[in-house]
Amino acid sequence: MDLYQVHFPNSRVPIAETMGAMEEMKERGKLLAIGVSNFSLQQTKDANAALKKAQLASNQVEYSLRKREIEADLLPYCESNKISIIAYFPLGHGKLAGSGAREKMETVCKAYSKTPAQVALNWLVSGRDVFAIPRASRAEHVKENLGASDWQLTPEDRKLLEAAFPR
Ligand SMILES: NC(=O)c1ccc[n+]([C@@H]2O[C@H](COP(=O)([O-])OP(=O)(O)OC[C@H]3O[C@@H](n4cnc5c(N)ncnc54)[C@H](OP(=O)(O)O)[C@@H]3O)[C@@H](O)[C@H]2O)c1
């Protein structure tokens, strides 16, 4: 496996035991990278410290323009320790593609000729170590979401969006 993530922290199992097993699988060549999911800042630090040879590769957490709590502590820690953020619910369950979000993002969408979903996803991923995993069951949504890459919002437009969706 390229990346194996622990889905949730488990208070009944010591993190050293879990990370020890992950590292053993890595040493046996069963997986390339070790990640976690839904880990707080302290839990992420503990998981990383429990690894003897490997470094934590990722933490999959909820992150979108509508949900920016990780910016207070987890995101800066992950950025300085080269741990990728994998953002789930990147479209806020689809709300960031809806009419309410469209109103808030209108100026930016027009400036780049992009849809709200494309702008919301680009804001997440461009220029930083964040990956978005949007879910889409409709083919046209998948195609539209692919248009979120290969371009970049300016820092000024990022700020405009952040002001429209305050933390
Ligand atoms: N690690 C964890 O604990 C955890 C927990 C929860 C979820 N996840 C992961 O997070 C991912 C996303 O979760 P999610 O599905 O709830 O949230 P989401 O990706 O924020 O939103 C998905 C919704 O947005 C709609 N959508 C997608 N693209 C669109 C577009 N371009 N225009 C309009 N609507 C669009 C989809 O509609 P259609 O289906 O109609 O295309 C679907 O209803 C999943 O892959 C899931 O596995 C991880």
Distance from residue 54's CA to the centre of ligand 1 (Å)? 31
> From the CB of 44, is ligand 1 less than 6 Å away?
no
67 φ, ψ (degrees, to nearest 5): -140, 95
Question: For residue 95, which atom of ligand 1 is closest to its CA?
Answer: 24
* Ligand 1 pocket mutation, candidates 8, 43, 88, 115, criterion most atoms within 8 A of CB: 88
Distance from residue 14's CA to the centre of ligand 1 (Å)? 32
Q: Name the residue at shortest CA distance from atom 23 of ligand 1.
A: 94
C-alpha closest to that of 68 among 43, 44, 92, 93: 92
pLDDT, one tens digit per residue, over 137-156 is 999 999 999 999 999 999 99
- Amino acid letter for position 68: R
* Separation between Cα atoms, residue 36 and residue 7, nearest integer Å: 6
pLDDT at res. 124:
98
> From the CB of 77, is ligand 1 less than 6 Å away?
no
**C-beta neighbour count of 44 within 10 angstroms:** 21
Residue 7 has pLDDT above 90, yes or no: yes
Q: Average pLDDT of the chain?
A: 97
Distance from residue 78's CA to the centre of ligand 1 (Å)? 23
pLDDT at res. 167:
83
Describe the strand order of the beta sheet including 58-62 as a list of residue ranges: 3-6, 33-37, 58-62, 84-88, 130-132
Distance from residue 137's CA to the centre of ligand 1 (Å)? 9
pLDDT at res. 60:
98
pLDDT at res. 116:
97
Question: For residue 136, which atom of ligand 1 is closest to its CA?
Answer: 41
C-alpha separations of 154 from 7, 31, 126 in Å = 34, 37, 10
The whole-number average pLDDT for the span 44-48 is: 98
In a 3-state reduction of DSSP, which class is residue 53? coil
Distance from residue 134's CA to the centre of ligand 1 (Å)? 5
Distance from residue 21's CA to the centre of ligand 1 (Å)? 31
The whole-number average pLDDT for the span 94-105 is: 94
Percent of the chain at pLDDT > 90 equals 99
